[in-house]
Amino acid sequence: MEKVLNFTQGRVPLLISMPHAGLRLTPAVKAGLISQAQSLPDTDWHIPKLYDFARELGASTLAAEYSRFVIDLNRPSDDKPLYASATTGLYPATLFDGVPLFREGLEPSKAERLTYLEQIWMPYHQALQGELARLKAEFGYALLFDAHSIRSVIPHLFEGKLPDFNLGTFNNAACDPQLASQLEGICARHSKYTHVLNGRFKGGHITRHYGDPAQNIHAVQLELGQCTYMDEFEPFDFRQDLADPTRVVLKELLEGFLAWGQKRYT
């Protein structure tokens, strides 16, 4: 297995996780994908580039190298469903549009998928858990921001157009409700963009599993509409003209996250 993640340690109590940014495929997955999946359309495109200001903020970053088509790092290892509505699992079987992901009979074997679990999913979660533990030991608390993006119109997954900024805190079980309210307020100040808190996307496995306010670990997921920073269809180009104003909001969200933590714990 090639390099499975990119981790950079920061200097403030914030970790930005990017579990769906990966583009790498295993030979078995690449060989079995249908033609329309070869371009990896369900990727959280350009997320590390979009959040390239994280180093300036002093945040730690953790980004996946392998595509979610190999294994989804934001799903539990037992593959229990996170949503009652349409979604994809630990080993995705369909594209977001509901079309089968693999040609018939060419899905990776059970043994191959066990390797993906052991050599891709586990290292990512070990790194995530280890960094949260380090941050809590050093600062007394840890902040986790799970960064995602998605095409803004996907009828198979949700009706209509998705709001631009979709904050998820698992109905405030993953972070302090006051923090969630403050982050929502930051979005509301930028009336150019639409937003929602705990709408269609309430937070995936990472937010739900690691967010533990009682233990001073606060987790928030952001599902960002890709129309805010890129062309949503192939070749999925990054749009600097769109990304720059979107980065302003993202930076305010992360600065607000950090400011809340400092005020709450000092």
pLDDT of residue 87: 63
pLDDT of residue 75: 95
Q: Where are the domains of the chain?
A: 5-265
Q: CA angle at residue 28 from 25 to 33, to 5 degrees?
A: 75
CA distance 154 to 174: 26
What does the block give as tokens for 18?
């990017």
Mean pLDDT across the chain, nearest whole number?
95
Residue type, 200: R
DSSP character string of 3-50: --EEEE--SSSEEEEETT---B--HHHHHHB-GGGTT-TTS-TTHHHH
pLDDT of residue 82: 63
Has residue 84 got a pLDDT over 70? Answer: no
251: left (phi over 0), alpha (psi -120 to 50) or beta: alpha
19, burial (CB in 10 Å: exposed 0-12, middle 13-18, buried 19+): buried
- The alpha carbon dihedral of 117, 122, 125, 127 has a sign of negative
- For 89-99, what is each residue's pLDDT tens digit? 899 999 999 99
CA distance 203 to 74: 9
pLDDT of residue 80: 78
pLDDT of residue 78: 87
Coil, helix or strand at residue 70: coil
- For 98-152, what is each residue's pLDDT tens digit? 999 999 999 999 999 999 999 999 999 999 999 999 999 999 999 999 999 999 9
pLDDT of residue 43: 98
pLDDT class of 81 with cuts at 50, 70, 90: low
Task: Give the pLDDT mean for 159-170.
Answer: 96
Strand partners, 197: 167
> Which residue reads 């963009």 in tokens?
193
Q: How many CB atoms lie within 10 A of CB 153?
A: 14
CATH number given to 5-265: 3.40.630.40
Coil, helix or strand at residue 177: helix
Give residue 161's Cα distance to chain centre: 19
- For 39-73, what is each residue's pLDDT tens digit? 999 999 999 999 999 999 999 999 999 999 999 99
Has residue 85 got a pLDDT over 90? Answer: no
pLDDT of residue 88: 72
Has residue 29 got a pLDDT over 80? Answer: yes
- For 196-242, what is each residue's pLDDT tens digit? 999 999 999 999 999 999 999 999 999 999 999 999 999 999 999 99
What does the block give as tokens for 116?
């993906």
Closest CA to 80 of 90, 72, 70: 90
pLDDT of residue 156: 86
| pTM: predicted TM-score of the whole model, two decimal places | 0.95
pLDDT of residue 72: 97
